[in-house]
Amino acid sequence: MASLVEDLLDVMQRETENYQKLYTLAEQKRQGIIHRNLEKIEQTSSEENEISSELKNLESKRVRVLKDMSVVLGKDNDDKILTVTEVILLLNKQKAEQEALTKARDSLVKAATQMQFLNEQNQILLEQAMEMVEFDLTLFKSMRQAPETANYDRNAYNTGDILPSGGFDAKQ
């Protein structure tokens, strides 16, 4: 059981470290979004994908360790997997392991919560940037298309001629 606790602590510590790395990258991505540095955004996104893949592997390993712990503790009779909190409660006679798991759980939850908050902020920034791009595109289209002249052909259809960029064509 002690080796399973050590494995769980190791996995949770590595998860926390990866969330902290992701947080740093998300900060860099935020700066890239603010300064419209697409190269920086692309680079950080690539690095984030690598770390996210590592986090997915660590999560799978944590689930396997928790399944093993449920077998050792005799709690595998149902299909429900033990949570870290439940393991902490079950280790009430082993105070050192209980305290270490509590600290590891709290730091992991804190790192994940910070990461979630920063991701939400970056999402809002990206949405605002996309709205600005859409506004700019609409502005450029309207500058190129308007104003049209009121010239009609023989069949009374508007010819759609655009005034020259100099303004109105007034004859004197």
pLDDT in tens, the chain (172 residues): 788 899 999 999 999 999 999 999 999 999 998 898 989 999 999 999 999 999 999 999 999 999 988 888 877 766 677 889 988 888 888 889 999 999 999 999 999 999 999 999 999 999 998 999 899 888 888 776 655 566 767 777 766 655 555 555 556 5
pLDDT of residue 72: 85
Residue 49, in any domain of the structure: yes
Residue 172, in any domain of the structure: no
Beta-bridge partners for 158: 152
pLDDT of residue 148: 58
Residue 171, in any domain of the structure: no
Contact between residue 98 and residue 92 where contact means Cβ atoms under 8 Å apart: yes
Domain range enclosing 137: 2-145
Please count the structural domains in the chain. 1
User: The domain that contains 126 carries what CATH number?
Assistant: 1.20.58
Residue 96, in any domain of the structure: yes
pLDDT of residue 82: 86
Residue 169, in any domain of the structure: no
Residue 168, in any domain of the structure: no
pLDDT of residue 139: 85
Residue bearing tokens 């609409």:
138
Cα 143 to Cα 141: distance, rounded to the nearest angstrom: 5
Residue 154, in any domain of the structure: no
Say what the alpha-carbon torsion angle 102, 103, 106, 111 is, to the nearest 10 degrees. Answer: -150
Secondary structure (3-state) at 158:
strand
Cα 84 to Cα 108: distance, rounded to the nearest angstrom: 11
Secondary structure (3-state) at 162:
strand
